[in-house]
Amino acid sequence: MNALKRNNVKFTGRGKKVMLFSHGYGCDQNMWRLITPAFQDDYQIVLYDLVGSGQSDTSAYSRAKYSSLMGYAVDVLEICRELDVRDAIFVGHSVSAMIGVLAAIAEPDRFEKLVLIGPSPCYINHDDYVGGFSREDIDGLLDSLDSNYLGWSSAMAPVIMGNPERPELGEELTNSFCRTDPEIAKHFARVTFLSDNRADLPKLKTRSLILQCSQDVIAPESVGEYVRRNLANSRLVVMKATGHCPNLSAPEETIAAMKTFL
């Protein structure tokens, strides 16, 4: 099966330069629906689902291949090769920010710029690095997820989303989590929250925008600042938007920051 079918690749837009959007954990390409219309006149929009998410071919999910984020980065590069993409704009949310970083390190000519929304190279605190969670926190989160995925989704999605005054946002993320195959979601969570890509950051040469939300429980401001310090050709924008999903909660601010950078 080719990568376009496997990853449920969809196209829109009227431009020639490619803008490739990659969604976060427990989500799918629909999470970009408030962002992409602003870029359709100037870009060829490429949307896809991570294997195991959305309408991807879940039969292609391999625990061995996807035991690290590099497995997902390989998929990005396969999509780019099949479309003969060069000098694309890659937009990655949450875990997909690091997937994009890994892909751009491996084949830098594929990407002109990266937009990294809520990136975190490591979620666990280490010595003077503040990732936002202790190892005990992460182990507890993964144990809860393993024992009751639907219950975990209902409890955690609104926390991740933030914006409690807009409960419909938390409900959308909860529903998205609950549509994901629980066994795949459990494995992907373990890979995501135990990953440590700090050593990869200095290898990236591609120009990057880091979009950091305020009051983000998944990727606190200390992480955004760490990413900025360790990406040589990067710019950090701290947004007024709160929570971890500004593509849904603050699309106008997200679009404005992207357009300024681009």
Q: What is the DSSP string of 147-168?
A: H-HHHHHHHHHHHHH--TT-HH
Distance from C-alpha of 121 to C-alpha of 180, rounded to nearest angstrom: 24
Handedness of CA 28, 30, 34, 35 (dihedral sign): positive
- The three-class DSSP label of residue 190 is helix
Whether residue 29 contacts residue 88, with contact meaning beta carbons closer than 8 Å, is answered with: no
Distance from C-alpha of 254 to C-alpha of 262, rounded to nearest angstrom: 12
Q: Which residues are catalytic?
A: 94, 216, 244
Distance from C-alpha of 211 to C-alpha of 244, rounded to nearest angstrom: 10
Handedness of CA 204, 210, 215, 217 (dihedral sign): negative
Distance from C-alpha of 189 to C-alpha of 199, rounded to nearest angstrom: 21
Q: What is the DSSP string of 226-255?
A: HHHHH-TTEEEEEEEEESS-HHHH-HHHHH
Whether residue 36 contacts residue 93, with contact meaning beta carbons closer than 8 Å, is answered with: no
